[in-house]
Amino acid sequence: MKNVLTIAGSDSSGGAGIQADLKTFSAHGVFGMSVITAVTAQNTQGVFAVQDIDPDIIAKQIDAIFQDIEVDAVKIGMVSQIPTIKIIAEKLKTYAPNKIVVDPVMVSKSGFHLLNPDAEKTLMEELLPLATVVTPNIPEAEVMTKLSIHTIEEMKEAAKAIYQMGAKNVLIKGGHHLEKDSTDILYTGEKFIPFTSPRIETKNTHGTGCTLSSAIASNLGRGLNVEQAIGEAKKYITIAIEHSLAIGKGVGPTHHFYSLYKKAGLLEE
């Protein structure tokens, strides 16, 4: 059994954050562990409040995991405060896991700022140099690079700029494009690799970024290389979105267990 740790915020509605990460880990056959950085009050309609966890408790959660259990990969999601980012970076430098996926969560789909603007620079300086893969979407990449991104070529330029910040591999997600297909661009420092899938017409995409980054971390933890890990994660999230769930009054979640439920005969035809 491979063990994968998520360091992220809690989503009370279960579609994103820690809850989505643990579901994704289970769907990939790895043992999931969590360090909670914040508790949010949210549902499919938006984020209504955030309670940040004290950095000392975050540090103790990380210590408790690493001092007892071998960690094969780490995924970092919502980290909203400068002290939170600094203690996570300090602890990861101490324990030195060799596979880290950083999902730079900045703004929720409803427009709620999950990363304080004054902490953006700290995230880029402290966590990006530790990242095996960093997975910004287009709006996040625009914040990180101060570039305007509308085309594949502009995605590539942004990926180069983020690579210069220290990440070993940069995956810019193309879900915010309006083209027929959804293309993500991986930059390895040497080459660009596109990952393209059909665009699925659904409003129910809550937690897609969390889920994709957790799938990548799961695959890295299982021993796949970066390109393989992203390719398999892209297939997984595409199926999860294709069979997303119309839960709640707003943006519903993806279906983390569709393939497993289908194999188990739990789905009605």
Q: How far apart are CA 179 and CA 159, in angstroms?
A: 19
The active-site residue, picked from 23, 77, 174, 210, is 210
Distance, C-alpha 142 to centroid of its chain:
17
Check if 238 is active-site: no
The active-site residue, picked from 132, 145, 205, 211, is 205
Helices (H), the chain: 17-27, 55-66, 82-95, 120-126, 138-145, 152-163, 208-221, 226-242, 258-263
The active-site residue, picked from 208, 211, 238, 254, is 208
The active-site residue, picked from 14, 15, 17, 207, is 207
Check if 208 is active-site: yes
Q: How far apart are CA 154 and CA 83, in angstroms?
A: 33
Beta bridge partners of 4: 32, 73
> Which conformational region is residue 237 in: left (phi greater than 0), alpha (psi within -120 to 50 degrees), or beta?
alpha
The active-site residue, picked from 15, 17, 77, 209, is 209
Check if 207 is active-site: yes
Check if 210 is active-site: yes
Check if 205 is active-site: yes
The active-site residue, picked from 173, 174, 221, 234, is 173
Check if 40 is active-site: no
Catalytic machinery residues:
173, 205, 207-210
